[in-house]
Amino acid sequence: MATPKNVPLKDFRNIGIIAHIDAGKTTTTEGILYRTGLTHKIGVVRGEGDGATTDWMEQEKERGITITSAAVTCFWKGHKINIIDTPGHIDFTAEVERSLRVLDGAVTVFDGKMGVEAQSETVWRQANKYGVPRVCFINKINQTGGDFYKSLESIHNRLSKNALPIHLPIGFEKDINGVVDLVEMKAYTYSDYADHELVPGDIPADMLEKSKNARSLLVEAAVEADDELMMRFLEEGEGSITIDELKAALRKRVLAGDFYLVTGGDGRGVIVEKVLDLMVDYLPSPLDVDAIWGKNPKTGDEVERHPSESDPMAALAFKIATDPFVGKLIFVRVYSGTLTAGSYVLNTTTGEKERVGRIVRMHADKREDIDKISAGDIAAVVGLKGTFTGHTLADVAHPIALESIDFPEPPVSIAVEPKTKGDQEKMGIALQRLAEEDPTFRVFTDEETGQTIMSGMGELHLEILIDRMKREFNVEANVGEPQVAFRETIRGTSEVQGKHAKQSGGRGQYGDVWVRFEPNEVGKGFEFFDAIKGGVVPQEYRKPVEKGIEDTLKGGVIAGYPVVDVKATLYDGSYHDVDSSELAFNLAGVLAAREGIKQAKPILLEPVMHVEVTVPEEFMGDVIGDLNSRRGRIEAMEDLMAGAKLVKAIVPLANMFGYTGDIRSMSQGRAASTMELAHYEEVPPNVAQEIIEKRSK
């Protein structure tokens, strides 16, 4: 077996396993670890036994789902593969997002009984966003209801027509016992899925015609990558193209990012070796990926880094994890140069120098110390105090800031308070650690009530965080009901005076400003413009005005929720030689914001969710009626495999708490749903009035 020291960069693979919840990502990863010799048996995701290697958190073992991305390194046929097993549940979508940001390729796993599911589409879109080439593995086709061809059809209908099988399954459902390899035109079979090797042989007679047709389609697609091959294929036919040429052409097409090879089987079994072959034969090495671009933080100039040890070091921190034995682990992808244990690096996001303590290669929750990592590799670093997700680490003499990772604002909040005085201090530390790890988790104190508010991506997300607080940090807490993170904005324009003038003996306070408030583009947030002509408001007082306005908007004006997407332009004012001060102008800004927002047609915004429900046909009427009663708008209905329907709707989050339980009871446990934030939209006036009245009590 190859070792980390002698694998050339062209034989590295940084691969993500992505899919809908329950499609079998973690089981497939377990199969890969077993087949590559990293584990001696296959862990199970649910039930008895030691559990899956990559699902090492207690909550993952109990719930049978993946919550955090786990990184493992294994070796196959001389190639080094860093694999990240990502979560499928929509509440942990940020884990998928940050993993795809640093990966070069992905294996998309589909449930062969269900085909393309709601979250399959979400992770597919995320992979498209980052331009990640991928291959498809249709899992569970050996189970009752599993169907390779129907699942392939659902990929064509819902994701891409450019997905072609490279293997065809031999047999159907429980009788599946191998695949036909369409490149080599050989059969690879097994007598039991847990066999130690695949046996090569002739293609079964009843599959020969089907295999020839499928291979012809594959060859036609492959030659599109190469003009010379295309000409030869047109002139001399399929037989003129060698196996090596076909593989090279297919690889070229996959690397372009809009063509996908498809295989299928049982993720626990020996067939996973064929998935490993696809990874090494067709997915990119770091050398196949374009040089990365960033900015020099000192000059603002664009600079590039190539995946080479000779370029200056540049790395991106993409995940933080708290390890019970070594403390804070920072997972990094090194794009260029070499990161060495004991060296100093520059965090170009914060501008601070940091010392790299130890570097560890992760095998899920087990660690192996290494001296350094070089371009193209992924590992975890210990000892960086001020580095968080999305930060760039660079050579001190050659700074570069790479593009960070954008995360959505969390739409669900709960109030949390410690049960005892002893829990109080521990809770503060626990929340800080969890917020460091998870960029979609926010903690703040409500100034009016003094309560600690936790915000996350959904009910399950917050439930897991509370559970982790209890288990990992020993903190008992009382938890309130989930609340919606409303926002405020304006639809009109106003021009107001903010004047703070006090005279009470001695030196007074005087600040006077005129500010124009108007709507900003959606998503732009708050922007401040200085349009002062001459010196009617001196330069040193303008920043305090901006700060006063910004602080007021954070606390809300009509219902106490943050005001977003507002432009404020300071265009006039006056000052006093003696009585004016930064504080006086800050307070003038506060007064202007309070009055200006009230006069600019303020409205309340609420998060609305993309809701997708998979439901057997007989319960569809109930599901649609229920979504309508929750102020939902049905957007589409589609047919799925196995007599199921897919309902797509837009529904306000405020009406979706507890929906998972409701839909189960409505459908005898047979329906499932996913939710993700779509956007913020205006709350209907009657509902807004109720919310404002409730907040003012």
**Hey, is 585 helix, strand or coil?**
helix
Nearest to 182 by CA among 216, 226, 153, 206: 216
Kindly report the backbone phi and psi dihedral angles of residue 199, in degrees, each rounded to the nearest multiple of 5, phi listed first: -100, 120
Name the band, by pLDDT with cuts 50, 70 and 90, for residue 389: confident
Where residue 319 falls among pLDDT bands split at 50, 70, 90? confident
For residues 81 and 196, the model is more confident at 81
CATH number, residue 363? 2.40.30.10
Judge if 441 and 531 occupy the same domain: no
Q: Which residue has the higher pLDDT, 448 or 251?
A: 251
Number of domains comprising the chain:
5
Task: Name the band, by pLDDT with cuts 50, 70 and 90, for residue 280.
Answer: very high
Mean pLDDT of the chain: 85
> Residue 307 domain-assigned?
yes
* Residue 275, in any domain of the structure: yes
User: Is 299 contained in some domain?
Assistant: yes
Q: What is the CATH number of the domain that holds 462?
A: 3.30.70.870
In a domain, 321, yes or no: yes
Percent over 90 (pLDDT), the chain: 41
Q: Domain holding 88: CATH number?
A: 3.40.50.300
- Whether 480 and 520 map to the same domain: the answer is no
Q: Which of 432, 461, 484 is the last residue of a domain?
A: 484
Contacts of 357 (CB under 8 A, 6+ apart): 341, 342, 381, 382, 383, 384
How many percent of the chain have pLDDT more than 70? 89
Specify which of 115-119, 444-448, 688-692 reaches the highest per-range mean pLDDT: 688-692
Can you list the pairs that 125-128 forms with residues at least 24 positions away whose Cβ atoms lie under 8 Å?
126/18, 126/93, 126/96, 126/97, 126/100, 127/18, 127/100, 128/257
pLDDT tens per residue across span 35-69: 887 554 444 443 333 444 443 344 433 433 333 44
407: in domain:
no
Mean pLDDT along residues 137-155:
92
Residue 408 lies in a domain: no
219 and 325 part of one domain: no
Is residue 527 domain-shared with residue 564, that is, in the same domain? yes
Structural domain that includes position 663: 606-696
Where among 266, 288, 310 does a domain terminate? 288
Average pLDDT, integer, range 336-356? 92
Asked if residue 332 lies in contact with residue 389, where contact means CB atoms within 8 angstroms, the answer is no
Same domain assignment for residues 54 and 179: yes
3-state secondary structure of 527: strand
Is the pLDDT assigned to residue 569 strictly greater than 90?
yes
Whether residues 370 and 241 share a domain: the answer is no
Residues 20 and 98 in one domain: yes
pLDDT tens per residue, range 156-184: 998 999 999 999 999 998 889 899 999 99
Helix axes 208-223, 243-255, angle to 10 degrees: 60
pLDDT at 267 (0 to 100): 80
594/611 same-domain check: no
338 within some domain: yes
Between these two residues, 19 and 493, which has the higher pLDDT value?
A: 493
Same domain, 432 and 387: no
CA distances from 290 to 84, 306, 390, 413, 476 (A): 21, 8, 20, 40, 49
Q: What's the rounded mean pLDDT across residues 393-422? A: 85
> For residues 637 and 431, what is the distance between their CA atoms, to the nearest angstrom?
41
For residues 688 and 605, what is the distance between their CA atoms, to the nearest angstrom? 9
Q: Verify that 68 and 109 share a domain, yes or no.
A: yes
Looking up residue 509, the CATH number of its domain turns out to be 3.30.230.10
* Final residue before a domain boundary, out of 288, 304, 329: 288
pLDDT higher at 559 or 122:
559
The reply to whether 418 falls in a domain is: yes
Task: Look at the pTM and tell me if it is higher than 0.75.
Answer: no
Could you tell me if 154 and 282 lie in one domain?
yes
Could you tell me if 539 and 652 lie in one domain?
no
Instruction: Assign 504 a pLDDT band (cuts: 50, 70, 90).
Output: low
